[in-house]
A and B are shown apart, each in its own frame.
Chain A
Amino acid sequence: MPPTPFRTRAAVLAGRTASAASRLTGRGEGLVVGGKVILKVSPGAMRDLAGDRVAALVSATNGKTSTTRLLATAVGQTGPVVTQETGANMTDGVLSALAYGHPRGQAVLEVDEAYLPLILPDTRPRALLLGNLTRDQLDRMNEVAMVARKWRTMLESCPERTTVVANCDDPIVTWAARSAPRVLWVSAGQNWTADASVCLECGGLLRFGGVEGWRCTSCGQQRPEPAWRFQIDDGRFTAVGPDRRRFDLSDLALPGWFNAANATLALAAATDVLGLDARTSVQRMATVTAVSGRYEVRTIGALDVRLLLAKNPASWSELLTVMPPAPAPVIITINANDADGRDPSWLWDVPFEKLRGRTVIATGDRRRDLAVRLLHAGVDHVVIEDPYAPGVELPASARDLEVIDCAATYTAFHGLRTRADARTDPQTRRRKVRRAATRVVS
């Protein structure tokens, strides 16, 4: 690797200083400000810092943080890995990760869907993982088709060394990825089809189901033949490779079929693009327990809560499936700040009916929207402004649970993490995480 140009080295130093100042003044990690300073001093810093060491970029509406962590953990079998620890996935966050991480480490980076076209040309990853595109924060004009068009244009001039690893069960992702010269198709599942009614090629209607997965009733476009498949056989999660080799993914510490599907995408990239050993990759991925606080058990007030994050109707729909069965009560926290999306109408796209037979504690800034949604779903609920406050009256069934699930929108989730009792003994926490995980599987 050629030495990093002086200008960029000076820029990184300036960025570090800015980040440190931001941390000292209590304004957070300082990654965003650090990234901004680096680019100001050396506009070509992204290309310089990336060099040839970016193994993979990961983008999707849902699952990009988890997929990135899974792949980064697999890539760790060959040496140091550079990745985001905080989920900062726009230009500044990606740049900070490259600037402050191990200087020769291979990079596995998560990238925001809208920022991907800006970041791909400078980072030239060996693998580009594309998971799914679904509705997300519609108040920001993130219409799904618009993002897909940007991706398609981006991939028409895809870097030469990049292989796209794309989920072909998502017709929107498939349409975008088809313009890339090298694509490894992975059938990684997609239960949420509500944003893929219309074929982006011709405006015709798409049909789902059958062995072909999906096809357009008008122009005949259909799911490409996948090289890798994610399957659920007798309740066990399996990845099947191109040579029909099977990998059992049921022992992942991360819960839910969607995390096993994320692991399939990561496994396909790790073995077929990065040339890593498949068994070792699976073993390493199985050790990932919590991802940026997701699925972590924390103590907040008098409760031990397992923190779950969901950001849009597709991810909420999947998250409901990892909650313990009724009648176990759960806490649901809904905010509508900028990062959550200002319009919580999406609550009506989530099948909360699945929570019938238990009491839901509705909280967060928009707890009243949630209460009305639950009323219409026929789900028993109580509205509590702060269920963690001392002396607050909770349903008895909530107090009796050893660990209660709390699902939250983005800013609510981060608020809870900040609030979580920092003194939680790590030993206890690990034990509880294991217990929560077992409970989900059984």
Chain B
Amino acid sequence: MPSANSEQVTIVSIYPALLGTYGDAGNVLALRHRAALHGLEARIIEVAAGEPIPAQGDLYVLGGGEDSAQTAAARGISADGNLASAAAGGAAVLAICAGYQLLGEYFPDATGQPATGLGMIDIRTDRLPRRAVGELAAESLIPGLPRLTGYENHGGATHLGAEVQPLARVLAGVGNGDGTEGAVAGHILGTYLHGPGLARNPALADLLLGWCIGRELEPIEEPDVEALREERLRTVLGEAWNRPA
């Protein structure tokens, strides 16, 4: 039970069965885990496809998925309408891979044709010449956020418009396809980082939770997670894994 003075964060996981093919359900576990470490009360709401999306979430999470699932998800979220209005009202959004793409103006469907996205952020996605599969390491462009590590698996080239900032600069891997990775617009954050992204980058989870409660969270390091981060960054960056690029 929440204690009287604990801060509560409501996390809405959107269509985890449709958008959760690459272990992205782990992002919600990571958010709950980090919230607990910081003494926050996380309330998780899973919304199955076809069910209404609650309007009062603090943080909405969308994962990756196969092409047909991505198109079905975009249709469902668009028809529901609550995600866009919650984000316009200041709620935070974390969107991974297919979820990231579908927040934009358009993304490629299973046949490669552009499908209409939610138009919530100023990005457009078409196809990369070659699918990007492998470790992704990137230097965060958000001040104070440590180096990012994850695994990417997508065929999308994402082009950022003037109203969004890239999340990071790619050190190894493909990301958006132009040397940048992910996008940030207000409290909406999109990225290609699987792994899951928040389990491998707990500072990213803390950033999102901080947005929800309106204050920055103190860094907390866990040995298991730090060991994994070092190992993964070393595989692609070698000895320079923790040196400024």
A residues in contact (CB < 8 Å) with B: 135, 138-139, 141, 143-145, 193-195, 197-198, 200, 203-205, 217, 342-343, 345-349, 368-369, 371-373, 375-377, 383
Decide if B23 touches A368 in the complex (CB within 8 Å). Answer: no
Contacts of B239 in A (CB 8 A): none
Contact across chains for B224 and A371 when beta carbons are under 8 A apart = yes
Which residue of the partner chain, among B18, B23, B231, contacts A346 with CB atoms under 8 Å?
Answer: B23
A348 touches which one: B49, B67, B153, B196 (CB < 8 A)? B196
Inter-chain contact B224/A348, CB cutoff 8 Å: no
Q: Closest A-chain residue to B15, C-beta based?
A: A197
Q: Of B1-9, B24-32, B83-91, which binds chain A?
A: B24-32
Picked from B21, B29, B72, B151, the residue with its CB within 8 Å of the CB of A205 is B72
- The CA-CA distance from A33 to B49 in the complex, in Å, is 48
Given contacts A139-B133, A205-B72, contact A376 B33 (CB under 8 A): yes
Which B residues lie within 8 Å of A368 (CB)? Answer: 224, 227-228, 231
Provide the residues of chain A in CB contact with B21, threshold 8 Å: 135, 138, 195
Is B71 close to A, CB under 8 A? yes
Q: 6 tightest A-B contacts by CB? A: A348-B26, A345-B23, A348-B23, A368-B228, A197-B17, A371-B224
Q: Do residues A138 and B228 form an inter-chain contact, with CB atoms below 8 A?
A: no
The answer, yes or no, to whether B66 is at the interface (CB within 8 Å) is yes
Q: Is the CB of B224 within 8 A of A343?
A: no
Of chain B, the residue at the smallest CB distance from A143 is B66
A371–B224 CA distance with the chains assembled, in angstroms: 6
25 contacts between A and B (CB under 8 A): A135-B21, A138-B21, A138-B22, A141-B131, A193-B17, A194-B17, A197-B69, A198-B18, A203-B72, A205-B72, A343-B133, A343-B151, A343-B194, A345-B24, A345-B26, A345-B194, A347-B26, A348-B199, A368-B228, A369-B228, A371-B227, A372-B228, A373-B199, A375-B224, A376-B30
How many Å from the CB of B232 to the closest CB on chain A?
Answer: 8
| Most B-side CB within 10 Å, residue of A204, A343, A348 | A348
Q: Is the CB of B228 within 8 A of A371?
A: yes
| Minimal beta-carbon separation of A149 from chain B (angstroms) | 10
B113 CB contacts on chain A under 8 angstroms = none
Asked if B225 lies at the interface with its beta carbon under 8 angstroms from chain A, I say yes
A366 to chain B, nearest CB (A): 9
B112 at the interface (CB under 8 A from A): no
Name which residue of chain A comes closest to B151, CB basis.
A343
Residue of A whose beta carbon sits closest to that of B22: A345
- In the assembled complex, the Cα of A375 lies from the Cα of B34 at a distance in Å of 11
Q: How far is the CA of A197 from the CA of B72 in the complex (A)?
A: 10
Shortest Cβ distance from B195 into A: residue: A345
With the chains together, A398 CA to B22 CA distance in Å? 32
- Are B134 and A342 in contact (CB-based, < 8 A)? yes
Interface hub of B72, B224, B231 (most chain A Cβ within 10 A): B224
Whether A205 contacts B199 by the Cβ 8 Å rule is no
* Other 12 A-B pairs with CB < 8 A, given A135-B21, A348-B26, A368-B228: A139-B153, A143-B67, A145-B67, A198-B72, A347-B26, A368-B224, A372-B228, A373-B26, A373-B199, A375-B224, A376-B199, A377-B29
Q: How far is the CA of A348 from the CA of B22 in the complex (A)?
A: 8
Q: Which residue of B lies closest to A353 (CB)?
A: B29
A219, chain B: closest CB distance, angstroms: 13
For residue B242, CB closer than 8 A to chain A, the reply is no
Distance in Å: Cβ of A376 to nearest Cβ of chain B: 5
Tally of A-B residue pairs with Cβ under 8 A?
Answer: 93
Residues of A within 8 A of B50 (CB): 205, 217
Q: Kindly report which residue of chain B lies nearest to residue A197, judged by CB atoms.
A: B17
A416 to B33, CA, bound (A): 34
From A197, A346, A371, A372, give the contact of B49 (CB < 8 A).
A197
Residues of A within 8 A of B199 (CB): 348, 372-373, 376
Q: Are B224 and A197 in contact (CB under 8 A)?
A: no
Tell me if A372 and B153 are in contact (CB < 8 A): no
Contacts of A204 in B (CB 8 A): 72
Interface residues of B in 137-182 (CB under 8 A from A): 151, 153
| Residues of the B chain whose Cβ atoms lie less than 8 Å from the Cβ of A371 | 224, 227-228
Minimum distance in angstroms from B222 CB to a CB of chain A: 7
Q: A217 CA to B200 CA in the complex, in Å?
A: 37
CB distance from B109 to the nearest CB of A (A): 10
Identify which of residues 214-233 in chain B touch chain A, using a CB-to-CB cut-off of 8 Å.
222, 224-225, 227-228, 231
- How many angstroms from the CA of A377 to the CA of B28 in the assembled complex? 12
Cα-based distance from A167 to B224 in the complex (angstroms): 41
CA distance A383 to B30 in the complex (A): 20
A135 vs B153: C-alpha distance in the bound complex, in angstroms?
14
- In the complex, the answer to whether A194 meets B20 with C-beta atoms within 8 Å is yes
Complex interface: chain B residues within 8 A of A200 (CB):
68
Query: Which B residues from 72 to 88 make CB contacts under 8 A with A?
Result: 72
Check B49–A343 contact: CB distance below 8 A.
Answer: no
Per the bound structure, the CA–CA distance linking A11 and B218 in Å amounts to 70
User: Which of the listed residues A145, A195, A342, A376 has the most CB atoms from chain B within 10 Å of its own CB?
Assistant: A376
A372 contact set on B, CB distance < 8 A? 199-200, 224-225, 228
Residues of B within 8 A of A342 (CB): 133-134
> CA of A193 to CA of B225 in the docked complex: distance in angstroms?
30
A349 touching B23 in the complex, CB below 8 Å, given contacts A139-B153, A343-B153, A368-B231: yes
Give CA–CA (A423, B208) in the complex, Å. 56
